[in-house]
Amino acid sequence: MHKDKASLADVLDSMRLAVAYVGSMTVEEFEQSVEKIDSVSRRLEIIGEATKRLSMSFRDAHPDVQWRTMAGMRDRLIHGYDAIRVDQIYDAVTKVIPPLIPKIEAILQTLPDPE
């Protein structure tokens, strides 16, 4: 369970950072900032990798979170880097991730601290 808590904390940290990196930028502003695109993409990669590190039993216990989609985004960023649309990255961070943050926070609070 400790591994799941640590991985979930990594997911949450990267979600918060990705949202903060975009802030109130418009999609047009985001598309013009290579640094923002790179930093947000890195956070999405971490979210996906940390998601893959969660145990299957943990993911199965929380079916309301789209774990597979989160891991899939990481795979697309890593393996299909040349076909990624920046507007999709922007949408993930401005539309998909914000409502997930309170869900992840709530799940994290239910996990026991390591002994």
Matching residue, tokens 């922007």? 90
Pair of tokens at residue 80: 């299909």
To the question of pTM greater than 0.95 for the whole model, the response is no
C-beta of residue 14 within 8 angstroms of C-beta of residue 43: yes
Q: Does residue 115 register a pLDDT over 80? A: no
Enter the tokens of residue 20.
Answer: 């903060």
Structural domain total, the chain: 1
- Out of 42, 53, 79, 85, the active site residue is 79
Q: What pLDDT does 80 receive?
A: 77
Whether residue 47 contacts residue 74, with contact meaning beta carbons closer than 8 Å, is answered with yes
Domain assignment of residue 115, yes or no: no
The verdict on residue 18 lying in a domain is yes
Pairwise CA distance, residues 32 & 11, whole Å: 26
pLDDT class for 114, splitting at 50, 70, 90?
Answer: low
Residue 89 covered by a domain: yes
Q: Can you tell me which residue has the tokens 């920046």?
A: 86
Q: How far apart are the first and last CA of the chain?
A: 11
Whether 43 is catalytic is no
Tally Cβ neighbours within 10 Å of residue 73. Answer: 22
* Local structure of residue 36 (DSSP, 8 states): H
Whether 49 is in a domain gets the answer yes
Q: Using DSSP, state whether 63 is helix, strand or coil.
A: coil
Decide if 85 is catalytic: no
Average pLDDT of the residues in 22-39: 97
Residue 103 domain-assigned (yes or no): yes
Q: Is residue 62 part of a domain?
A: yes
Write out the residue range of the structural domain in which residue 46 sits.
Answer: 2-110
Helix (H) or strand (E) holding 91: helix 86-91
**81 band by pLDDT with thresholds 50, 70 and 90:** confident
- In which band, very low, low, confident or very high, does the pLDDT at 34 lie, cut at 50, 70 and 90? very high
Give the H/E segment covering residue 58.
helix 56-61
Checking if the pLDDT of 11 tops 60, the result is yes
pLDDT score for 99: 97
Residue among 2, 53, 62, 74 flagged as catalytic = 74
